[in-house]
A and B are shown apart, each in its own frame.
Chain A
Amino acid sequence: MALNPTEPKWSLRLPADCSIAAIRNVYDLIREAFGRQERLEIDCSSVDKADVTSIQLLLSTAKTGEAQGRPVVLTSFSQSLRNTLRRAGFASEAMIDQHFPQKKDGT
């Protein structure tokens, strides 16, 4: 969740709760990070609670980044996030790649 300024690129680690109950905070975090830096890396390793809103937010982030020509990299999908993605129909790695084009496996 903390922004690490020592890294060359900004890395934003998503909080454990990315469900609808907390999604507004996550949304604000991502928008804030988006405003600061050209290149944005989002670390999804600690996501413990995810639902439709989490997926939508990540999709929108990727879409916005693509439209603005600013790379957004998603790393280290947690098991919980993967499950949620799978339940929502993002059944294969191929599909996840398709919708999150800059995803890079962090493990």
Chain B
Amino acid sequence: MSTMDPTEVFRQEASELFEVLEGALLDLGQRPDDRELVDSAFRALHTIKGSGAMFGFDKVASFTHEFETAFDRVRKGEIKPTQELISVALAAKDYIRALIEDPQSTDDIIGEAILDDLRRFVSSDRPSAPVAEIAEAPPLAPNESRQAGWHLYLEFESHILRNGSNPLDLLEDLCKLGPCFVVPVTDGIPFLDEMDPEDCYLKWDVKLHAACDKDAIDDVFMFVQDEMKLTLSPLAQVEAPAPAPLFQLLDEEPAPPAETVAQVMESAAPVAAPPAARPERKAEVASEPKSDIKPETAPARREDAKQERGIATVRVQAERLDELMDRVGELVIAQARLTQLASAGSDLSIKMIAEEIERLASSLRDTTMGARMVPIGSLFGRFRRLVHDLSRDLSKPVEFVTSGEDTELDKTMIECLADPLVHLIRNAIDHGIEDSATRAANGKTEQGRIELAAVHSGAQVLVTVKDNGGGLNTARIRAKAEEQGLIAAGAVLSDHEIHQFLFHPGFSTAQTISALSGRGVGMDVVKRTIENMRGSIDLSTRPGQGTIVTLRLPLTLAIIEGLLIRVGEGRYIIPLSAVEECVELTAEDERSRGRNFLNVRGNLVPFLRLRELMAASGAPDRHQKTIIISTGETRVGLVADQIIGNHQTVIKSLSKLHSDVTIFSGATILGDGTAALILDVAQLVAMAQSKVEKQHISEAA
């Protein structure tokens, strides 16, 4: 077992917390009244502060503390989280992140400036009499502000003491809020023989005579609220003198039966929140025998969270998963050898074992790949910030909608997807969405809209970026292409073909970015990245209505189903997902040497002779086979000597020495230990296309 550096653990934990914080802040921009969001942001901050201090990130702790203090007024509901405030809070979050990840790069001055901003926002509307303000602070719950205090019932999970939490400290904190009567509930204590001395059995029934906020009480239990049941209900004594001695208190409430509490309370204090409205009563609570107090209860608000704890997850280092995948790959290769060996022999029992192992290996492969799957939502979350910032910087209001966050992709794919998607979204906002004035003139809503969606489609995942902007300006792209000499003036091209020029390296130049409504900035890089993942990218646009960019991606990078073929002496793999059909190369097609077109049910399909491409020696087989492969709309035939069959292909990437090899995307090891190269479908299709075009030109000449 390798032990992890605790600082590293903190960094990881913090980075997750940052995501929570950022998500909460961004959501808060849209739903400023959602208390749950404010709380979750605050909890994340608080944990960062606490753990930061524990691991010696003192600067982080002190900055976060300041941040927290400033943000506190938002939490108390005293000020609204405005867009400006959230922008500053996001900047503060970024600063803390920098403090943790790269402290050298940060400057105290920046931190101070952010804090000043933050303080300015939260104090700008501070009224002169803060005391009066607290009294009117929670207008949403008029009942709560008038009540005399709180009735709490505390029940901790049994392991809580082992975590180092001390209920006695919590009780003490509670007492600091105001006069407090704590009554221990001892009926949970088991007999000696049934007892685990380290478990927590005691429960407490507390009456707090202070007109404090519910939040103040939640604060006390902030760190243990997932590990306890806190039942909270307002005390219904309006004119009760605050510090009443214990016995007087007991006299005031002469142990009414639980069922009648509601009536008693209502008649005693009509202004108090009617406890009868509480939907749930805990039988165990009502059976408390000795303390002479029957607590009327509200549903424990943490119950949902408790149930969720049942779902167990394990955090595993990504490298270990990679390692596991490698091992499984090796196993699949070894298993292929075994199968081959078994099928060559005549021993029946070995054949059976080989089959068994084949079955196990393939299910192990599926499980391992499943373990590497990550919901794409983790990636989508990052773009909300991007859209928020861009929308602000370019002053184009943009609504960002995501769907299909649950769609799972291999984690390596997710990592590779981040940059291309940033490009696409940036382009969509920068060039796609028009400014407000133009939108209004065209009768569109003022707010632009960007949709990011992921959906499963067979063995592929489709990721689409859709905007409702102005669409591509085909005429300008064409003009630009002609200017750069990519097409002859007046050549007949479909709109779709013209749009492909956007993926041409260096197509978009600086002076055209703003003039051209189309994309182009780094689109060639996007295309290359996607193709390296064996995916494809497609553009479709409707003038005035918007553009959709579709990325098609394979589910995984590590193992694919392939079609094993033989060309001369060499064997090659074609990814099965690209194969459409296999046909025999007829004598007629064979004769048409010069044309290289195949008649597939009336459609002309260009084909490539792999024997020529690979410079294979020896005589070709008599009956040549054609494998029709396709990328989206384009189909190309590949002529091979023999189709061997289906092959589970563990992809080994080619070394840097082979980086200039274009028609192969990788290699694999076959059952007999020899290597086979994996054909790069996209490149082959492009090659066949260019060949066809050359032919056209030479025929025309």
Contacts and interface: CB of A to CB of B under 8 A. Distances in A.
Are the chains A and B members of one assembly? yes
B191 A52 contact: no
Interface of A: 20, 23-24, 26-27, 30-31, 34, 51-53, 55-57, 59-61, 63-64, 67, 84, 87-92, 98-99
Among B192, B200, B202, the one with the most A-chain Cβ atoms within 10 Å of its Cβ is: B192
A59 B201 CA distance: 10
Given A89-B204, A91-B182, A99-B186, A52 B195 contact: no
A51 B168 contact: yes
Interface in B187-201: 189-193, 195, 197-198, 200-201
Given A20-B198, A23-B197, A26-B197, A89 B192 contact: no
B167 interface: yes
Contacts of B182: 88-89, 91
B201 to A, nearest CB: 5
A54 to B, nearest CB: 9
Contacts of B184: 55, 88-90, 99
Interface string B168-194: 100110000000011110100111110
Contacts of B186: 59, 99
B166 interface: yes
A103 to B, nearest CB: 14
Contact of B191 (A26, A67, A98, A99): A67
Contacts of B166: 51-52
Interface centre among A52, A55, A63, A64, by most chain B C-beta atoms within 10 angstroms, is A52
B290 interface: yes
Given A52-B168, A60-B191, A60-B195, 19 more contacts: A24-B197, A27-B197, A31-B192, A52-B200, A53-B161, A53-B197, A53-B198, A55-B202, A57-B195, A60-B192, A61-B192, A87-B171, A88-B202, A89-B171, A89-B183, A91-B182, A91-B246, A98-B290, A99-B186
A107 to B, nearest CB: 24
A84 B167 CA distance: 11
A56 to B, nearest CB: 5
Contacts of A87: 168, 171-172
A27 B229 CA distance: 27
Given A27-B195, A53-B198, A59-B189, A84 B161 contact: no
18 contacts: A20-B198, A23-B197, A27-B192, A31-B192, A34-B192, A56-B189, A59-B186, A60-B191, A60-B195, A60-B201, A61-B192, A64-B191, A67-B191, A87-B171, A87-B172, A89-B171, A89-B182, A89-B204
B162 interface: yes
Q: Main secondary structure on chain B at its contact with chain A?
A: mixed
B197 A57 contact: yes
Place the interface of chain B in its size category: 20 to 34
A88 B171 contact: yes
A92 B195 contact: no
A64 B200 CA distance: 17
B167 A52 contact: yes
B595 to A, nearest CB: 87
- Of the candidates A31, A51, A56, A98, the one having the most CB atoms from chain B within 10 angstroms of its own CB is A56
A33 B161 CA distance: 26
Contacts of A60: 189-192, 195, 201
Contacts of B192: 27, 30-31, 34, 60-61, 64
A55 B202 CA distance: 9
Given A60-B192, A63-B191, A92-B246, A23 B183 contact: no
Contacts of B168: 51-52, 84, 87-88
Given A64-B191, A92-B246, A52 B197 contact: no
A25 to B, nearest CB: 9
Contacts of B200: 52, 56
Contact of A20 (B161, B193, B202, B204): B161
Nearest to A18: B197
Contacts of A31: 192-193
A2 to B, nearest CB: 21
Interface of B: 161-162, 166-168, 171-172, 181-184, 186, 189-193, 195, 197-198, 200-202, 204, 206, 246, 290
A61 B197 CA distance: 11
Contacts of B171: 87-89
A99 B290 CA distance: 9
Nearest to A23: B197
Contacts of A27: 192, 195, 197
B161 A52 contact: yes
A28 to B, nearest CB: 9
A86 B66 CA distance: 36
The 3 tightest CB contacts between A and B, nearest first, are A89-B182, A27-B197, A64-B192
B98 to A, nearest CB: 40
Contacts of A53: 161, 197-198
A34 B246 CA distance: 35
Nearest to A89: B182
Nearest to B290: A98
Nearest to B191: A64
B25 to A, nearest CB: 38
A84 B182 CA distance: 13
B201 A56 contact: yes
A23 B197 CA distance: 6
A31, A89, A91: residue with the most chain B Cβ atoms closer than 10 Å: A89
A30 to B, nearest CB: 7
Contacts of A64: 191-193
Contact of A52 (B172, B193, B202): B202
Contacts of A84: 168
A80 to B, nearest CB: 12
A89 B204 CA distance: 8
A60 B162 CA distance: 19
Contacts of B206: 89
Greatest chain A CB density within 10 A among B182, B195, B198 is at B195
Nearest to B197: A27
A56 B197 CA distance: 8
A25 B186 CA distance: 22
Contacts of B189: 56, 59-60, 63
A51 B197 CA distance: 11
A89 B152 CA distance: 14
A20 B202 CA distance: 14
Contacts of A59: 186, 189, 202
Contacts of B195: 27, 56-57, 60
Contacts of A88: 167-168, 171, 182, 184, 202, 204
A51 B164 CA distance: 11
Nearest to B164: A20
A20 B200 CA distance: 10
A24 B202 CA distance: 17
A96 to B, nearest CB: 11
B295 to A, nearest CB: 14
